[in-house]
Structures are given as C-alpha cells and as structure tokens.
Structure 1
Amino acid sequence: MSLALTARPGFSMLSRVLAAALGGYAVASAVAVLLAAVLPVARAEAVLAGIQWSFVVYVVAAIWAFSPVSLARVWGVLLATVALLVLVSWVCARAGTGG
C-alpha cells in the first residue's frame, strides 16, 4: 500500500472494519468446515461443534482486527489463516479423514 492511502484515517478504519467483518467471517467459516470434517464424533455433533467454535473465532478475529498492529499484518494474518485452514480441510477431505 502506498503511504498516501495508509495515512488517511478513514481508509484505515474502513479497512479494519472490513477485516473484522469479512476476514473474521472467512476465518470463522474455515474453522467451522475444518472442525466439522476432522472431529471424531457423529457428523451432526461435529458440525454443531464447528459452528459453535466459529462464533468464538469470529469474535477473536474481529477484536484482533482493531489491535494496534499494522494494517498489512492484520490482512496478511487473516488471509494466511484462511488459506491454511482451507488447505488442511481440502487435504482431510481428499484423505477421507473425519468422524
């Protein structure tokens, strides 16, 4: 990002709001999918547990998006986490693991 964009407080706040809302949702969804795929319990219980944990993850990601770290780091960590969780979910689905 250029210095001109990051120096504007409005852009920074909008980007953090989007990171909290969209990035948090993406991470929470990826966690729900992964847990539903890998927990060694009945399918319905695994899905329910994944959804319940996704609420916790969403809140933590949203709070962290407003922490005093750089905006690039916020987006980088959120996107890297989503990519890693999606990759692990895909590997588990291909391997046929899960409950």
Structure 2
Amino acid sequence: MKPLPLRYRLTVLSRTAAAVAGGYALAAATAAGLGLGLARLGMARADATLAATMLAFVAAAVAAMWAFGCATARRAWLGIAAPALLLGALAWALRGATP
C-alpha cells in the first residue's frame, strides 16, 4: 500500500487542530459572549449561563463538522475563527456590565 502524501497529512492535521482547538475556542467564546449578552438582556444570570453553556456544546460540535466539511483547511479555520473572535469581542465589551 502506498503511503499518503505529506501535503494530505498536513491538511488533515490542520483540520483536526481547527476542530479541536478552534472548536474549544468557539465554545468558550460562545459561552462567555452569549452568557453575558443574555444576562444583559434581563435573563437571570444562572439561566443565562446555563443556556449559553448548552449552546456552546452545540457550537463545538458544529465547529468539528465544519472543519471536515469545508473544501479547504483555510476556509475551515476562517469559518471557526471569525465567529469565535466576534463572540470573544462581545464578551470583552460586556465584561463587568451585567447587573
């Protein structure tokens, strides 16, 4: 059996890193950003935290599927990093602003 080319192996490694590390970052940013945002909109802090955490698990699973469903590894990274950065910026802007 012929071994797989190095370029292919590196692409799979990059997608795996995007799924694991990027999915974790997206989940953390989702939990932080949505938790603070929902609390700011008037939801009880405990309920906002619980809702945001449950949605963060969904975001991590979707990120993993996205990483391997994209046409290129670059698109996978961008599709995970962009919402993670936006939600992280939201969390940063709302830090300390909840009642």
Unpaired stretches in structure 2, ≥5 consecutive residues: 1-5
Unpaired stretches in structure 1, ≥5 consecutive residues: 1-6
Q: Look up the match of 1:20.
A: 19
Q: Which runs of 4+ in 1 moved over 4 A?
A: none
Find the aligned partners of 2:34 and 2:86 in 1 and give their Cα distance.
14
Q: Look up the match of 1:4.
A: none
Find the aligned partners of 1:88 and 1:23 in 2 and give their Cα distance.
17
Find the aligned partners of 2:70 and 2:31 in 1 and give their Cα distance.
27
Q: Look up the match of 2:43.
A: 41
- Cα deviation for residue 55 of structure 1 reads 0.7
Find the aligned partners of 1:48 and 1:58 in 2 and give their Cα distance.
16
Alignment-mate amino acid for residue 22 of structure 1: A
Superposed CA RMSD in Å reads 1.6
Q: Look up the match of 2:83.
A: 81
Q: Look up the match of 1:57.
A: 59
TM-score by length of 1: 0.82
Alignment-mate amino acid for residue 48 of structure 1: L
Say yes or no: does 1:91 pair with 2:74. no
Query: Aligned pair count?
Result: 91
**Which piece of structure 1 moves more, 51-60 or 65-74?**
65-74
Alignment-mate amino acid for residue 7 of structure 2: R
Find the aligned partners of 2:61 and 2:81 in 1 and give their Cα distance.
16
